[in-house]
Amino acid sequence: MIQGLLKHRMAAHWPGVNFDILIPDDPALGDYSTNIAFTLAQQQHQSPADAAERVIQFVKDDAVLGPVFEKVVFAAPGFVNFFLKASFLQQHLADIYRKRSAYGSSPINKGKTVMVEYTDPNPFKQFHIGHLMSNAIGETIARLYEATGAKVIRVNWQGDAGLHIAMAVWGMQKGHDYLGPAYTFGARAYQDNPEAKKEIEAINKKLYDRSDSKLNMLYQKGREGSLRHFETLYQRLGTKFTHYFFESEMAPRGVEIVRQHPDVFEASEGATIFRGEKYGLHTRVFINAQGLPTYEAKELGLNQEKFRLYKPDLSLIVTGNEITEYFKVLLQAMQLIMPEVASRTRHVPHGMLRLPSGKMSSRTGEVVPAEQFIDEVKTYVDEKLAQREGLSTKEREGIRESVALAAIRYTMLRQGIGRDITFDVKTAVAFEGDSGPYLQYTHARLSAVLTKAGVLARLSRYVYRPSAHTLNENLELRLIKHMLDFSSVIVRSTQLHAPNALASYLHGLATLANRYYESIHILSDEQTARKAARLVLVETIVAILKRGLDLLGIRALKRI
RNA sequence: GUCCCCGUAGCUUAACGGAUAAAGUAGCAGCCUUCGAAGCUGUUGAUGGGGGUUCGAUUCCCUCCGGGGACACCA
């Protein structure tokens, strides 16, 4: 919040100058810091120290910024460091406390409609841990946009048409179950058995023009069953989609778009293709030699339809990064056909969830189904919780799912989304340190103080007077300062599509809070005013932890 | 072969071009008669190699080495 204010006031005073407001790693260097003097020095041909002096003067004289800082100092080789006044922090706690349930919200995306496409499992195929990853990342990005004021449309795009479906239906004909096994069986046969390959291609054609009622029935059964199954998972994961798009519905539209643009596409070996080489990319087939649309063509239809229905200002597509190159080609083609759509569409690739045994692939059948995975983690959680004293069997039952999901989600969100995660079930889902359960634990531990404080906790908001309270210990001020930065972290996480920035912030808050918790004893304090002020502080921390966890899709528990 | 992404403590990861490269974990040494020890304190330990741009490079450029991905009718 102060960060934004500094940036704003200084940018207004030095228009066009490029600079940043940083938060030094070492708190001894200040609460905030700026590098603007380096740039000013270069432009004005003076020393950084002299430029810094001008910056210091400006901030000190500024009616808004001046009173906020205890000191503003030059630091070699050219930084200007800002130290907040303790009294400012103390007074600000009251403000944070008042807004605590919505604290951190920022209006930067107010009035905008943002569409987020994520999860995207395919009917007839396994919902595996890769989809879990897409779901965790997409859901958090959606929530971040909501926290910054946008109206968010959650979208799920599902492949209920195409060759993979034909493979699955062929597998169903051979007696295999539609929730995965039929597809795996069909896919293997397609590769190994030329006879089967022909049959599957024939089925693909028939399904496309819906000419065979027996096949249609099999298809219908598998499709409905798959979708029902996915819905139970979304419920478990806490995702509610606004709109479901299906390939089967977008196929005709896609074909039409391709046919309408002979200037963009060309015929080659019986297929209709896009020559990506002209743009430093590669060629992709949009309509195959059988006249059927590929994924590429369907996606043209999809993106057009997205904008026709919802007119988003920004349309995000969250998928695994193995299709990054594919997306460049698609976006290039879109740029030529529907530039207004293409310019507002962005691909947000995430890394793969890797297992020690190698890449997960739904083609080789080496998938780890999401449910099996969650349940496995849950078993591990159970063992941990059983060692915990004072937690009844019933309480344990109630939270194991939340703890398991917290562990999984946090593991996926705590690092940069573009990078692969090597997932070892034993070690990746940690319960100590930088983990989801650690944050849940901190939340519960602090909540317990409030519960034990009883009436006083509820009354503390009335007792609390910022001008009179006695919060001045170093950790207390650092905690308030940390909370002050919450909204800028949310803004940064949103703009960079970096949930890990938020995760790391929350871990920092929890660490400070735990350190604080261990350094003083709140409830036994005989100075009522100080005790009340500390309870306000704790209640504020709890609220922000809860809010941050909610953005990450993690349940804040009172007992764990 | 061409294009894209990635190489940071033993391991898993941070760092909008900024200061002494930050955490977790593992290791070592400590802290429970007080609000929840899944915690806290201390400690050992790192930018793949070589050039360049810059006041300043983990970050940008070139090159080499190593890993992953994509590259015509799958998604």
More confident residue, A355 or A16: A16
Most confident listed range (A173-182, A301-310, A474-483)? A301-310
Find the nucleotide nearest A414 (Cα to C1′).
Answer: B13
Q: How confident is the model at residue A546 (pLDDT cuts 50, 70, 90)?
A: very high
Question: What is the Cα–Cα distance from A227 to A287, expressed in whole angstroms?
Answer: 27
Residue nearest to nucleotide B6 (CA to C1'): A419
Residue A353 φ/ψ, nearest 5 degrees: -90, 110
Q: How far is CA A505 from the centre of its chain?
A: 14
What pLDDT score does A363 carry? 42
Amino acid at A473: E
**How large is the average pLDDT for residues A474-489?**
94
Question: What is the Cα–Cα distance from A461 to A457, expressed in whole angstroms?
Answer: 8
Beta bridge pairs of residue A346: A316
**How large is the average pLDDT for residues A67-72?**
95
Q: How far apart are the first and last CA of chain A?
A: 32
DSSP states along A182-213: HHHHHHHHHHH-HHHHHHHHHHHHHHHTT--H
Beta bridge pairs of residue A284: A274
Q: Residue A101 pLDDT more than 70?
A: yes
Q: Residue A235 pLDDT more than 60?
A: yes
**How large is the average pLDDT for residues A79-91?**
92
Find the nucleotide nearest A349 (Cα to C1′).
Answer: B5
pLDDT digits (tens, 9 = 90+) for A501-521: 999 999 999 999 999 999 999
Question: What is the Cα–Cα distance from A232 to A105, expressed in whole angstroms?
Answer: 31
What pLDDT score does A362 carry? 42
Count Cβ neighbours within 10 Å for each residue of A418-431 and write b for 16 or more, e otherwise: eeebebeeeebbeb
**How large is the average pLDDT for residues A80-86?**
95
Protein CA at A108 to nucleotide C1' at B54, angstroms: 33
Find the nucleotide nearest A437 (Cα to C1′).
Answer: B38
Protein CA at A324 to nucleotide C1' at B2, angstroms: 16
What pLDDT score does A366 carry? 61
pLDDT digits (tens, 9 = 90+) for A429-449: 778 899 999 999 999 999 999
Find the nucleotide nearest A247 (Cα to C1′).
Answer: B75
A38 C-beta neighbours (distance < 10 Å), count:
17
Residue A266 φ/ψ, nearest 5 degrees: -140, 155
Protein CA at A409 to nucleotide C1' at B43, angstroms: 32
Q: How many helices (H) does chain A have, and how many strands (E)?
A: 22, 14
Q: Residue A209 pLDDT more than 90?
A: no
Q: How confident is the model at residue A358 (pLDDT cuts 50, 70, 90)?
A: very low
Protein CA at A465 to nucleotide C1' at B70, angstroms: 61
Protein CA at A28 to nucleotide C1' at B71, angstroms: 52
Question: What is the Cα–Cα distance from A284 to A293, expressed in whole angstroms?
Answer: 12
- What sign results for the dihedral spanned by CA atoms A67, A68, A73, A79? negative
Find the nucleotide nearest A125 (Cα to C1′).
Answer: B75
Query: Coil, helix or strand for A74?
Result: strand
Find the nucleotide nearest A48 (Cα to C1′).
Answer: B55
Q: Residue A390 pLDDT more than 90?
A: no
Residue nearest to nucleotide B26 (CA to C1'): A427
Q: Residue A548 pLDDT more than 60?
A: yes
Find the nucleotide nearest A354 (Cα to C1′).
Answer: B68
Q: How confident is the model at residue A463 (pLDDT cuts 50, 70, 90)?
A: low
Protein CA at A516 to nucleotide C1' at B43, angstroms: 22
Burial of A194 (0-12, 13-18, 19+ CB in 10 A): exposed
pTM (predicted TM-score): 0.94
Amino acid at A59: V
Residue nearest to nucleotide B22 (CA to C1'): A25
What pLDDT score does A33 carry? 96
Residue among A109, A38, A107 nearest A74 (CA): A38
Protein CA at A201 to nucleotide C1' at B35, angstroms: 68
Protein CA at A297 to nucleotide C1' at B15, angstroms: 41
Protein CA at A25 to nucleotide C1' at B15, angstroms: 10
Find the nucleotide nearest A538 (Cα to C1′).
Answer: B35
Residue nearest to nucleotide B68 (CA to C1'): A420
What is the pLDDT of chain A when averaged over all its residues?
91
Question: Which bases of strand B have any atom within 7 Å of the beta carbon of a protein residue?
Answer: 3-6, 12-16, 18-26, 34-41, 55-56, 68-75
Count Cβ neighbours within 10 Å for each residue of A398-414 and write b for 16 or more, e otherwise: ebbbbbbbbbbbbbbbb
Find the nucleotide nearest A38 (Cα to C1′).
Answer: B55
Find the nucleotide nearest A515 (Cα to C1′).
Answer: B40
Which H or E run contains A73? strand A69-75
Q: Are A371 and A405 in contact (CB under 8 A)?
A: no
Residue nearest to nucleotide B67 (CA to C1'): A420
Question: What is the Cα–Cα distance from A48 to A80, expressed in whole angstroms?
Answer: 10
| Structure-block tokens of residue A230 | 């996915």
What pLDDT score does A240 carry? 97
| Structure-block tokens of residue A136 | 């965790």
The answer to whether the complex's ipTM is over 0.90 is: yes
Find the nucleotide nearest A35 (Cα to C1′).
Answer: B18
Protein CA at A304 to nucleotide C1' at B17, angstroms: 39
Q: How confident is the model at residue A526 (pLDDT cuts 50, 70, 90)?
A: confident
pLDDT digits (tens, 9 = 90+) for A14-30: 998 999 999 998 888 99
Residue nearest to nucleotide B23 (CA to C1'): A434
What pLDDT score does A16 carry? 87
Protein CA at A433 to nucleotide C1' at B55, angstroms: 39
Q: Which position has the token pair 């979304």?
A: A234
Cis omega (within 30 of 0) for bond into A77: yes
Q: What share of chain A is helix, strand, coil (3-state, %, to 5)?
A: 60, 10, 30
Q: Residue A41 pLDDT more than 70?
A: yes
Protein CA at A389 to nucleotide C1' at B43, angstroms: 32
**How large is the average pLDDT for residues A207-219?**
92
Q: Are A195 and A154 in contact (CB under 8 A)?
A: no
What pLDDT score does A355 carry? 67
Protein CA at A307 to nucleotide C1' at B13, angstroms: 38
Which H or E run contains A158? strand A151-158
Q: Which position has the token pair 């020559």?
A: A275
Protein CA at A29 to nucleotide C1' at B19, angstroms: 9
What pLDDT score does A359 carry? 39
Torsion region of A502: left, alpha or beta (phi above 0 gives left; psi -120 to 50 gives alpha): alpha
